[in-house]
A and B are shown apart, each in its own frame.
Chain A
Amino acid sequence: MTRYIRHAAAFSLLLLIALLVNLTRIQVLDAPSYNANPANGRTTMSRYARARGDVYAGRTRLTGSVRTGGTLAWQRAYTAGPVFAPVTGYASQAYGTTLLENAGDPVLSGTDPALSAAPLWNAVTRRPVRGGRVVSTVDPAAQRAAYRALGVRTGAVAALDPSTGRILALVSTPSYDPAEVAGDGRGALAAWRRLTTDPRQPMLNRAIRQTYPPGSTFTVVTAAAALDSGAVTGPDAATDSPDPYTPPGTGDRLADRTPRCRDATVRYAFEAGCDTVFARLGVRVGLPGMVGAARAFGFDDPGTSIPSHVSESVFDTSMNDARLARSCVGQDDTRATPLQMAMVAAAVADGGTVMAPYLIDRETDATGRTVRTTRPRPLGRAMSGRTAAVLADLMAGAVTDGTGTGAAVPGARVGGTSGTARTGTGDRGTPYAWYVSWARPARAATAPVAVAVVVEDTAAARTGASGGGSAAPVARAVMKAALGGGG
């Protein structure tokens, strides 16, 4: 019997060994695939088990966390939700993350390996790493000023530091409070339904995710191309342009409402707003030249990210002269995000260099130790320094004498240009007023702020006037705040 007892014992041990082998398979070999399974609730639970790190604008904290008392222990809160929503985005238990909450998620949620001083040791001890901070480049004063200036109107503001590409403001109205969708309960669901079905699209980030025809503000690009290519010898030279103008090979006729545009100088055309002059110049530069110039400013780049994705601003690459003529004055299929137009103004203010725009200044761990810093990165040169100086002069002239007087800031040199646009097809779309500008304090060498404003403005459509009336004061408010804050 002893032998058979030994057999039975061996059999029993074999069963237990089978268990250990199988456990090793599950807990070690196959564990990664189980852990990554989307149905595994642990990912979510551990994510909300601790307070999320916060998003800052300078020293201003934009976010917070509140206890829920539920299974997902913490949820996101926002200190000034609607104002900063186009910067922070939302971090929702039910609907994921967007914008900075998305781009900075590894740091905010504490999963970024850079946060832990000893990653291997942490992997062994499984001690949860506290979420770090994401410090945005946004200037809270400029952001608030822009939000306040837009008020109840539909519109957007993008402001940049021309010499670095730091984004100083990203505002979109109407806005929403991201705190409303932060949870995963019935309240969040109702808010989500309401916000996503609202025809005014409060969750649309118009500053970077909506493109508008830039209208006359695009003439800055056209003028830069014309001056750089030699299509016109200087700002004060006659441009040899008719009014009305019929581009070659077409029956299309463009006419200006502004007087004295025939054969005007670039300076006059810029200050008075002569579209025929820039249409003529653009056709003279030619399609390849215009495409090259637009690309140098950042158009036609589908990969722009700040690091959140920015919608592609478009300058069509194949069209006939009639369309090219209209495209050169920001119509036809030409479309730009407010951020793109701010980059155009910034290039003028920064001597022709286009800096890559960025929204994250630095990321730190929970104690404030910096783990990552964004370095300013030039995208390229959009025009020669001389051309930039000429354009800066033209834009400043437009503020002092021309279409954009509403943008003047006391004690600073301001350059700007206005435009109108219609979203949608034909003349029936919603009209928008543009203003694109930069400002430099009187004794400073560089301009610390460039801004683009787009505002829904039914009056602009009626009068056909430029955007100076309704958009310029918004730009002025942002520039004033940016300069006042020490830039």
Chain B
Amino acid sequence: MSAPRAAAPVAPVRQPRRRGVELSLLAAAVLIALFGYVNVGLAQDGRVPRGVLLYGPALCVPVVLAHLAVRWRAPYADPLLLPIAVLLNGMGLVLIHRLDLATPHERAGAPSQVIWSSLGMTLCVAVVVLLRDHRVLARYGYVSMAVALALLVVPIFFPAINGARIWIREGALSIQPGEFAKILLAVFFAAYLAANSNALAYTGRRVLWKVQLPTGRVLGPILLVWAMSIGVLVLETDLGTSLLFFGLFVVMLYVATGRRGWIAVGLMLAAAGAGVVGSLEPHVHSRVVDWLHPFASIRAGQGAGQLAEALFAFAAGGLLGTGLGRGHSILIGFAAKSDFIVATAGEELGLAGVTVLILLYALLVARGFRAGLAVRDAFGRLLAVGLATIVALQVFVIVGGVTDLIPLTGMAMPFLAQGGSSVVTNWIIVALLIRLSDSARAPGPLEAETGVIAMVRPSGGLEF
């Protein structure tokens, strides 16, 4: 990064807060989710479900609390972030509830998802209220990394579930620690890169024509991260998380240094790692084979595989969908509520509905990047970019996977998919983006402070 840009002058005009916009959008989001819930009931039983009287107000409580928290502690925050998250979370609950009805003999997913969502929103409120200044996080960069590594390593000691060692299961409760690691790694990357971007960009030996390698001291953490994502891939056979970490790091590295070489190096390393693991590791290899031949099991006379069923679900939805509660995406079977939830959206809401969902994510990501552009300190910028990238990559990896665009990897669709850890993590991401966007637009002492830091430390970094 370059210091003068970071110290961009702030417009002296007082920014509008637009909390009223947020409130009305929140009301719309809640209403849409409730409408979906009623819709499912009407489609399945022909009458309005009685739960609407209970869930309606119940859903409003955390939403209103979150709104009040934002009003109180982050009055200049981007007014779109919270409503988008509420809408996606609400639609996720509707879809999970809809799939619960189709699988009466399984444990219902919606009730626990409601609890996790409430927990997520509570943590969101807590972050917004307690984290007054995001730069505090920069102090905990290496701590974050250590904790993230620990979280990633812990599940290795637990039994594999469905071919991947990414869960800690204790009774009915299962936690996916890798989800939380995402945020911690983004914090670490942002802090590390904000401090070392110049060293990465401009120092080091020139080994080949125009190719310049940074010094070992600076390069070390990068190699560590690379090794870590490969380790996750091999030990936990979790291709998705590995891809996410690596993609996240390459993007943040590029944003911090502006060096396209890093992208090339990153892509080559990723390709090499994925190539080796994809051909050697049986679990990952089978995913690659499925990706290339989704209908192989049909030709072999064994009926449609999971991926083929997902494609059938999308196709059955067509342009406008079958309507909520009227599809048969349950044919996908295992993981229909989690990894494949977007196929249900595709079948019942159609291309129109899925496009809306993807655009909502796009809007969320765009707002994240916008906060990244507007915030004044390098750490904040990189953190915002990292968080937005996490959302974008997650959506790409999982939707691309279930639509046969890339090999399918287990990954939760942010907010939509069943999975407590994921929903909590994404609410924290939204909380951090709210905090960052508030800092970006808020007038007051922050402004001067940011300028001072940028001037005192021309490297643009922060000490931690």
Contact = CB atoms under 8 A, between A and B. Distances in A.
B258 A4 contact: yes
Interface string A10-33: 011101101110111011101111
A11 B369 CA distance: 11
A80 B391 CA distance: 62
A29 B351 CA distance: 11
A67 interface: no
Interface stretch (B92-100, B357-365, B425-433): B357-365
Interface string B241-270: 000000000010011101000000000000
B318 A28 contact: yes
B177 to A, nearest CB: 25
Interface in A412-451: none
Contacts of A1: 1-2, 5-6, 255-256, 258, 378, 381
A73 to B, nearest CB: 12
A186 interface: no
A23 B403 contact: yes
Contacts of A31: 314-316, 318
Nearest to B400: A19
Interface in B405-425: 405
Interface residues of B, number: 56
Contact of B312 (A2, A24, A40): A40
A26 B395 contact: no
B239 interface: no
B350 interface: yes
A5 B254 CA distance: 9
A16 B369 contact: no
Q: Which of B254, B312, B322, B366: most chain A Cβ within 10 A?
A: B312
A22 B400 contact: yes
A307 to B, nearest CB: 31
Contacts of A13: 362, 365-366, 392
A102 B358 CA distance: 44
A5 B385 contact: yes
B331 interface: yes
A32 B311 CA distance: 12
Contact of A18 (B5, B319, B396): B396
A94 interface: no
Given A1-B1, A35-B315, A124-B320, A15 B255 contact: no
A45 interface: yes
Interface in B88-142: none
Contact of A26 (B258, B311, B361): B311
A12 B358 CA distance: 12
Given A8-B389, A9-B388, A22 B405 contact: yes
A442 to B, nearest CB: 58
Main secondary structure of the interface of B (DSSP, over half): helix
Contact of B319 (A3, A27, A35, A40): A27
B354 interface: yes
A15 B391 CA distance: 11
B373 A6 contact: yes
B393 interface: yes
B314 A126 contact: no
Contact of B354 (A18, A23, A40): A23
B385 A27 contact: no
B393 A15 contact: yes
Given A39-B298, A41-B331, A45-B328, A22 B403 contact: yes
A37 B312 contact: yes
B71 interface: no
A24 B358 CA distance: 12
Interface string A154-178: 0000000000000000000000000
Contact of B304 (A9, A12, A22, A40): A40
A34 interface: yes
A23 B314 contact: yes
A377 interface: no
Given A1-B381, A35-B315, A8 B308 contact: no
Given A8-B385, A16-B358, A27 B255 contact: no
Contact of B358 (A4, A19, A27, A28): A19
B346 interface: yes
Contact of A23 (B316, B346, B396): B346
B355 A30 contact: no
B304 A39 contact: yes
B283 interface: no
B305 to A, nearest CB: 9
B381 to A, nearest CB: 6
A8 B254 contact: yes
B184 interface: no
A194 interface: no
B346 A41 contact: no
Given A19-B400, A42-B328, A27 B393 contact: no
Chain B CB within 10 Å — which of A13, A28, A40, A45 has the most? A40
B323 interface: yes
Interface in B361-386: 361-362, 365-366, 369, 372-373, 378, 381, 385
A126 B308 CA distance: 23
B220 interface: no
Interface in B315-367: 315-320, 322-323, 326, 328, 331, 346, 350-351, 354-355, 358, 361-362, 365-366
B303 interface: yes
Q: Which 10 A-B pairs have the closest CB atoms?
A: A34-B315, A12-B392, A1-B1, A9-B369, A31-B315, A15-B396, A27-B351, A39-B304, A39-B298, A4-B255
Interface of B: 1-2, 5-6, 8, 251, 254-256, 258, 295, 298, 303-304, 308, 311-312, 314-320, 322-323, 326, 328, 331, 346, 350-351, 354-355, 358, 361-362, 365-366, 369, 372-373, 378, 381, 385, 388-389, 392-393, 395-396, 399-400, 403-405
Given A24-B351, A41-B304, 18 more contacts: A1-B5, A4-B1, A6-B373, A7-B254, A12-B365, A12-B369, A20-B358, A27-B318, A30-B315, A34-B311, A37-B308, A40-B304, A41-B328, A42-B312, A45-B331, A124-B320, A126-B323, A126-B326
Interface of A: 1-9, 11-13, 15-16, 18-20, 22-24, 26-28, 30-35, 37-42, 45-46, 124, 126
24 contacts: A2-B373, A5-B373, A5-B381, A6-B373, A7-B254, A8-B254, A8-B369, A9-B366, A13-B366, A15-B393, A18-B396, A19-B399, A19-B400, A20-B355, A22-B403, A23-B399, A26-B403, A28-B351, A33-B315, A39-B298, A41-B331, A42-B331, A46-B328, A126-B320
